[in-house]
Amino acid sequence: MKNEFDIFSWQDIQKKREETRKRFVIEYAQDSSDSYDARDMDRLWKDDVLVDSYLECSHFVMENTLKMISDSLQWRKEFKLNDINESSVQKGLLDSGMIYLHGYDKEGNKLFWFRVRLHVKDLKMLTEKKRYVAFWLESHVRREPGTPLTVIFDMSEVGLGSIDMEFIKYIINCFHVYYPKLLAKMLMYEMPWIMNAAWKMVKAMLSQEVVDTLVFVSKSEIQDHVEREHLLPSMGGTDPFKFSYPPFPDDFQNPISETGQEDDAETGEDDLETKDTLEQNPLALKPRKVCFAEDWDKDCTSTWKASRRPSDAFKGTLLHISPAEELRFGLGDGEKRCLISLSNVTRNRVAFKVRTTAPEKYRVKPSNSSCGPGTGGTITVSLYGGSLCCPQDRFLIMAAEMDLSSDGGSADLAQFWKGVPKPKIMMHSSSRLEENMDRCLRWQKVLTVLVTVLTALSFSTIYTGEWPL
């Protein structure tokens, strides 16, 4: 489906953004300033991606865009989302395992699980449950900005006491209004017939865009969307995962440098630093995504695809990172490395380091370094040995300003990262690493079949003494 942005020039889109901001202030914020959190207003004014998401979801109808923004910002203030953490949610809900984030679908989208049978309908608890959902969604946006979600409504073994269509409608509405462009799709797993009538009423109240994201699946069909390794055994999968809270181990680790050693000496302490920053400092995370993919054109070995749109470069407050979307590796042995270009846009030296969720697969050089004011640098990312990309691999680039007196040496960097205040750290993380090696995999399958056939023929010749006709 064609992206609606493609019918507009970048100048037109910029005008739409400016119109949206100005009209929202005049028509909504001036008379209702107490209805919105000042931090959300500040983000609306500065974050083009956020404004674009509202424009696109409302099909560029300005009145609908403004109403959606107002509803979203009021909801955020009502549930105090800029300050929400686990202490804001009842412990019993957190421990229940009714809702959690775990695993990825085949497209690399994070899985948002709703185990409906663990839900008990209770109107007195509805507000707390809404806050519970908001906590998980906000946690995901802070931790993995730009990573779409695939929602799995697990309705297996559901009893009448668990059916709460009002709550399900609220969850769906969160994606339609409060977090536009966050939803990839919703998998309605094993919906029982007793919910058919209630579901028809809810469906009638949903927009066509939301209805189009719904996919009803059975146990035999869900593997069309999610690999077995990310599915529970009850769904025919092999994932032994059992929910417990807190579920936030640090996903990002130090990559191995090309010398085979970790660049960071303070690994353990640094891991805690990253985890704390990701969970406690949402302002440090930019709502952008980096997608890395493996399907390189023959004439683009070891270089970045030429930028064709301004969004191909992530423009952070400290560094511009190019490109912002895809890192692609070639199919040949000599094409297993790519480049990340950094540009320091400050007047100070900027320290940076790279983390990955798969340190055993990648070699990064440099993974911990710095660049002077107004200068740039290049990071080389290489696939190690015979490693292949997978949709779950992600990267994180952390950056922070240093004093001009610092020379950016290894000793300075080690000391700097230990003492830098968390709010001063800029982060840019990848939402997924796509693997598109169809040609390679196709040939691999063909070769496997040929080898199998030749092996069978050889054994037949050995035992019979005749070559089969």
Residue 74: CB atoms within 10 Å: 17
Smallest CA-to-CA distance from 17 within 35, 44, 37, 36 is with 44
What is the DSSP track for 348-414?
Answer: S-EEEEEEES-TTTEEEESSEEEE-TT-EEEEEEEE-TT----TT--EEEEEEE--TT----HHHHH
Residue 59: CB atoms within 10 Å: 10
Distance CA 469, CA 467 (A): 6
Element (H, E) at 15: helix 10-24
What is the DSSP track for 247-261?
Answer: ------BPPBPTTSS
pLDDT, position 257: 56
Is domain 86-235 given the CATH code 3.40.50.1860 in the classification? Answer: no
Contact predicate 252/394, CB 8 Å: yes
Element (H, E) at 41: helix 38-46
Contacts of 225 (CB under 8 A, 6+ apart): 105, 106, 150, 185, 187, 215, 217
Instruction: Tell the burial category of 360 from Cβ atoms under 10 Å away from its Cβ (0-12, 13-18, 19+).
Output: exposed
pLDDT, position 73: 96
Residue 300: CB atoms within 10 Å: 14
Element (H, E) at 126: helix 126-143
pTM, full prediction: 0.57
- Phi and psi of 55, rounded to 5°? -60, -45
7 to each of 56, 59, 307, 352, 408, how far by Cα in Å? 12, 12, 19, 37, 46
Alpha helix (H) residue ranges in 249-343: 267-280
* Residue whose entry in the numeric block shows the structure tokens 């889109």: 13
Domains 86-235 and 267-436 share a fold: no
Q: What share of the chain is helix, strand, coil (3-state, %, to 5)?
A: 45, 20, 35
Structure tokens at 283: 């302002």
pLDDT, position 462: 55
- Report helix, strand or coil for 187: strand
Structure tokens at 270: 């640094």
Q: Domain coordinates of the chain in residue numbers?
A: 4-78, 86-235, 267-436, 442-469
pLDDT, position 455: 63
Structure tokens at 246: 């807190």
Contact predicate 425/141, CB 8 Å: no
The architecture that CATH gives domain 267-436 is Sandwich (2.60)
Distance CA 349, CA 413 (A): 11
Residue 244: CB atoms within 10 Å: 9
**pLDDT mean values, one per 10 residues, the chain (469 residues):** 65 93 93 87 93 92 96 96 91 92 90 94 93 94 86 90 86 92 94 84 82 94 94 92 67 54 46 40 33 34 34 78 71 68 90 83 86 86 74 78 78 83 74 41 53 60 55
Q: What is the DSSP letter of 301?
A: T
